[in-house]
Amino acid sequence: MSDATAPDDTMVDREPDSALAAVLAAAKRSDLGLVVLTLGLIYLGATLLTFTDGLNSVVGLLRTLTFLGLVYALSTLALNLHWGYTGLFNIGVAGFMAIGVYTMGIVVRSPDPAFGPPGFGLPLPVGIVAGMAMASLFGLIAALPALRLRADYFAIVTLGLSEIIRLTLQSSTFDTALRETLGVGTGGGRGMGMPQNPVRGLFLVDGRAGDPTALGAAVFGTLGEGGLGISNNILIGWGYILVLAVFVVAFYVLLERLGRSPFGRTLKAIREDELVADSLGKNVDLIKIKVFMIGCALMGLAGILWFGSQGNVSPSPQFEPILTFYIFVAVIIGGSGSNTGSVLGGIVFAAVLFEGPRRVGAVLRDTIDAPTPPTFGDAVAAADPVGLLAYATDNIAPLQFVLLGLVLIFIMHRRPDGLLGDRIETAAAVDLTRREGGERDE
Kindly identify the residues of this chain, within the stretch 315-354, that bind another protein according to CB under 8 A.
Answer: 325, 328, 332
Min separation Cβ 145 and another protein, Å: 5
Q: Exactly one of 82, 109, 200, 282 binds another protein (CB under 8 A); which one?
A: 282
How far is residue 13's CA from residue 47's CA, in Å, rounded to a whole number? 34
Q: Compare residues 63 and 260 and give the one whose CB is closer to another protein.
A: 260
Q: Compare residues 196 and 426 and give the one whose CB is closer to another protein.
A: 426
Q: Which of residues 129-188 bind another protein (CB under 8 A)?
A: 145-146, 149-153, 155-157, 159-161, 163-164, 167-168, 170-174
Q: Which of residues 2-21 bind another protein (CB under 8 A)?
A: 2, 4-7
Decide if residue 210 touches another protein (CB under 8 A): no
| Coil, helix or strand at residue 195 | coil
Decide if residue 376 touches another protein (CB under 8 A): yes
Q: Exactly one of 107, 132, 294, 343 binds another protein (CB under 8 A); which one?
A: 294
Min separation Cβ 103 and another protein, Å: 19
Cβ atoms of 55 and 229 closer than 8 Å: yes
- Contact string 378-407 vs another protein (x = CB under 8 A): x--x----------x--x--xxxxx-xxxx
Min separation Cβ 342 and another protein, Å: 16
Q: For residue 309, which amino acid is it?
A: S
Q: Which of residues 48-107 bind another protein (CB under 8 A)?
A: 89
Q: Which of 215, 214, 213, 216 lies closest to 233, judged by CA? A: 216
Cβ atoms of 337 and 3 closer than 8 Å: no
Helix (H) or strand (E) holding 193: strand 192-193
Q: Compare residues 120 and 325 and give the one whose CB is closer to another protein.
A: 325
Min separation Cβ 245 and another protein, Å: 20
Min separation Cβ 124 and another protein, Å: 24
Min separation Cβ 407 and another protein, Å: 8
Decide if residue 408 touches another protein (CB under 8 A): yes
Decide if residue 204 touches another protein (CB under 8 A): no
Q: Which of 112, 109, 128, 132 lies closest to 120, judged by CA? A: 109
How far is residue 402's CA from residue 404's CA, in Å, rounded to a whole number? 5
Decide if residue 190 touches another protein (CB under 8 A): no
Q: Compare residues 171 and 310 and give the one whose CB is closer to another protein.
A: 171
How far is residue 428's CA from residue 121's CA, in Å, rounded to a whole number? 44
Decide if residue 415 touches another protein (CB under 8 A): no
Q: For residue 61, which amino acid is it?
A: L
| Coil, helix or strand at residue 417 | coil
H-helix segments, 307-419: 315-318, 321-334, 339-348, 356-367, 376-382, 385-394, 396-414
Among the candidate windows 128-136, 233-241, 283-291, 304-312, which touches another protein by CB under 8 A?
A: 283-291
Decide if residue 273 touches another protein (CB under 8 A): yes
Neighbours of 362 (CB within 10 A): 14
Cβ atoms of 396 and 358 closer than 8 Å: yes
Q: Which of residues 252-271 bind another protein (CB under 8 A)?
A: 254, 257-258, 260-266, 268-269, 271
Cβ atoms of 82 and 135 closer than 8 Å: no
Cβ atoms of 188 and 314 closer than 8 Å: no
How far is residue 345's CA from residue 363's CA, in Å, rounded to a whole number? 25
Please, how many CA atoms are within 13 Å of residue 194, restricted to the half-sphere of its CB?
24
Min separation Cβ 226 and another protein, Å: 42
